[in-house]
Amino acid sequence: MIDVHMHILFGVDDGPKTIEETMRLLEIAQAEGITDIISTSHAMHPQYNVEAKEVRNQVRLLNDKIADSGSGITLHSGQEVRLVADLVEKVKEKRVLTMADSRYLLLELPSGNVPNYTTSMISKLLAEGITPVIAHPERNRGIAEKPERLERLVRAGALAQITGGSVAGAFGKNIQNLSFQLIEANLIHLYGSDAHNTTVRPPLFAMGLDVLEKKLGGYADLLLENNRWVLDDEYVTILEPEILSKQKKWFFF
């Protein structure tokens, strides 16, 4: 299985602090059945901006360590890129990394809202051959207040990635309920752990999948298959989204 969102690099953002912690996190990932991880350290975040060169250098270092350990996991370069006004320019200058050097870019919105220019940025990225993937939309307050905001982004051409911990209930019942509302509306396309460490933010990849399989069956297989398509730089499966604005009930924080 492929985890498309994990903060696995050490000493660069709010992920592992030491290489030893990184290796312990990799052991957990292996135990959960993960074979490939897209490393997604923060870029253009107000607190963290891990340079693309640092990502590539550390991914090479860690892959060598992994080969020596015999765990069988492969790391791939990527970043969780914060939405900024000059993002297209940064993409053109190759100052930010796509997911495993594919056409897909993991895009992080501010936690409290969906900026007005998000849709236009999606269009600009698509014009450059880049498909934005909205990271953990279920944890965005603006989307929680009006889930149709994610629907508009998806209809504009973006994809969206749900977090295993959200599905498993680790962030609370409201976020778990919203996660399933978005999934059932066909607004979620990829699945990742967004793990940061072995204690407060462990992977919960397998736990989330178990909950998802019990509730929605084959949808878990669809998300995992799409994860593979991202890694292979192929087109993912996109189901027609529901019109959320016609629904009556929302889940709030």
pLDDT of 251 strictly over 60: no
Give the pLDDT band (50/70/90) at residue 235: very high
pLDDT of 246 strictly over 70: no
Give the pLDDT band (50/70/90) at residue 242: confident
Express each pLDDT in 152-203 by its tens digit: 999 999 999 999 999 999 999 999 999 999 999 999 999 999 998 887 788 8
Question: Per-domain residue ranges for the chain?
Answer: 2-246
| pLDDT score at 115 | 96
CA dist 171 and 21 (Å) reads 23
Kind of pairing, strands 190-192 and 79-82?
Answer: unpaired
pLDDT of 109 strictly over 50: yes
| pLDDT score at 243 | 67
Per CATH, the architecture of 2-246 is what? Alpha-Beta Barrel (3.20)
Residue written as token pair 């796509």: 98
Measured CA angle at 166 (ends 164, 170), to 5 deg: 100
Other residues' Cβ atoms within 10 Å of the Cβ of residue 217: 10
What is the pLDDT averaged over residues 127-142? 97
Kind of pairing, strands 36-39 and 74-76?
Answer: parallel
Burial class of residue 141 (count of CB atoms within 10 Å of its CB; 0-12, 13-18, 19+)? middle
Give the pLDDT band (50/70/90) at residue 113: very high
Q: Which residue has the higher pLDDT, 98 or 196?
A: 98
- Please report, rounded to a whole number, the percentage of residues in the chain having pLDDT higher than 90: 82
What is the pLDDT averaged over residues 76-97? 96
Give the pLDDT band (50/70/90) at residue 248: very low
Q: Which two tokens stand for residue 128?
A: 């450059």
| pLDDT score at 245 | 54
- pTM for this entry: 0.92
What is the pLDDT averaged over residues 28-50? 94
Express each pLDDT in 51-72 by its tens digit: 999 999 999 999 999 998 877 8
What b/e sequence results for 5-34 when a residue is b if at least 16 CB atoms lie within 10 Å of its CB, and e otherwise? Answer: bbbbbbebbebbeeeebbbbbbebbbebeb
